[in-house]
């Protein structure tokens, strides 16, 4: 098991991992036998088959047999990928179509990952937190509990350069749409980052920041807290 707190170790893992191109191949043929195919999965019968595995492996198997194939169609979504997609079927979370979550991410209970969100290796999403549409949580980014990361926001990853410290978003923080949180920044508990802000320095507990670069515009009061409260009904799966 690699140390996800060590960027060099993650980079070594990526370098040394076998690069694969997962494909699903639909093939019509009555003249090819797949009984000896051991390195990829085969489904189907009577001349209609689905092959699932690495493109290069399947391609090598079919090489020289082109004239035996009646029809073929290949589905793919990556090439020479080093990090597989995270298997989140066991997670007690709402994960919508089009979200991309790479392996070795952590998804908390009742988290919500919306369409188009990207969560990279080593990222942590806390319980009850929402990652809204097209938001990006970079490698090793840490999102606390009850956080809202707005649509299109970017939590910078720190795999490269490897010397940078990860971004930490503490509990009960609201990050507005299209905001950018740069490497090494900590946004402390209960803070608010306005939409479109670029945060280059730590944000203290309860501060409301806005602008590029972001500056403190107020301390969160009861009225602001009410305006930015989360909706539990969007998260509760029980």
Domain CATH code at residue 174? 2.160.10.10
- Adjacent-strand bridge partners of 24: 52, 75
Domain assignment present for 30? yes
Predicted confidence band at 90 (pLDDT cuts at 50, 70, 90)? very high
* Same-domain check for residues 117 and 208: yes
Determine if the peptide bond prior to 91 is cis (ω within 30°). no
Same domain for 56 and 174, yes or no, is no
What's the pLDDT band for 224 if we cut at 50, 70, 90? confident
Q: Is the pLDDT of residue 162 over 90?
A: no
The verdict on residue 87 lying in a domain is no
44 shares its domain with 133: no
DSSP per position, 42-90: EEEETTEEEEEEEHHHHHHHHTT-GGG-SEEEEEES-SSBSSPBP--TT
pLDDT at 1 over 80: no
- Using alpha carbons, select from 131, 120, 40 the residue that is nearest to residue 83: 120
Per DSSP, 165 falls in state P
- What pLDDT digit, counting tens, does each position of 26-52 carry? 999 999 999 989 999 999 999 999 999
Instruction: Please state the rounded mean pLDDT for residues 117-136.
Output: 97
In this model, does residue 66 exceed pLDDT 80? yes
CA distance 195 to 180: 9
pLDDT at 71 over 70: yes
Whole-model pTM? Answer: 0.90
Q: Is residue 12 part of a domain?
A: no
Mean local confidence (pLDDT), 79-103: 96
- Residue range 160-169: average pLDDT? 84
Domain identity same for 104 and 193: yes
Q: Are residues 120 and 220 in the same domain?
A: yes
What is the SS3 assignment for 11?
helix
Q: For residue 161, is pLDDT > 80?
A: no
Is residue 115 domain-shared with residue 60, that is, in the same domain? Answer: no
Task: State mean pLDDT over 111-130.
Answer: 97
Q: What are the φ/ψ torsions at residue 51 (nearest 5 degrees)?
A: -110, 130
Residue ranges making up the domain that contains 218: 94-234
**What's the pLDDT tens digit per position in 178-216?**
999 999 999 999 999 999 999 999 999 999 999 999 999
Give the per-residue pLDDT at 163.
67
**Which is more confident, 110 or 7?**
110
What is the pLDDT confidence band of residue 236, given thresholds at 50, 70 and 90?
A: confident
The residues pairing with 26 across neighbouring beta strands, listed in sequence order, are 50, 73
State the pLDDT confidence band at 172, using cuts at 50, 70 and 90.
very high
Put the strands of the sheet holding 180-181 in their side by side order. 100-101, 118-119, 136-137, 154-155, 180-181, 198-199
Q: Report how many domains make up the chain.
A: 2
- Here the tokens at position 33 are 């036998």
Residue-wise pLDDT for 129-143, tens only, equals 999 999 999 999 999
């Amino acid at each position: 098991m690699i140390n996800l707190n060590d960027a060099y170790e993650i980079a070594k893992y990526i370098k040394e991992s076998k690069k694969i191109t997962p494909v699903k191949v639909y093939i019509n043929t009555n003249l090819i036998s797949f009984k000896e195919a051991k390195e990829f999965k085969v489904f189907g019968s009577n001349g209609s088959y689905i092959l699932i595995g690495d493109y290069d492996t399947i391609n090598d198997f079919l090489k020289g047999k082109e004239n035996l194939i009646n029809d073929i169609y290949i589905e793919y979504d990556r090439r020479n990928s080093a990090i597989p997609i995270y298997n989140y079927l066991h997670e007690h979370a709402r994960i919508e179509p089009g979200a991309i979550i790479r392996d070795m991410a952590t998804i908390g209970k009742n988290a919500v990952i919306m369409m188009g969100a990207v969560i990279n290796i080593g990222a942590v999403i806390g319980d009850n937190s929402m990652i809204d549409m097209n938001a990006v949580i970079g490698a090793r980014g840490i999102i606390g509990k009850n956080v809202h990361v707005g649509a299109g926001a970017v939590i910078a990853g720190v795999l490269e350069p490897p010397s940078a410290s990860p971004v930490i978003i503490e509990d009960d923080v609201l990050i507005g749409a299209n905001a950018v949180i740069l490497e090494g920044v900590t946004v402390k508990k209960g803070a608010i980052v306005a939409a479109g802000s670029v945060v280059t320095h730590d944000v203290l507990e309860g501060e409301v920041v806005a602008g590029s670069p972001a500056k403190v515009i107020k301390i969160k009061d009861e009225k602001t807290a009410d305006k930015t409260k989360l909706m539990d009904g969007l998260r509760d799966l029980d």
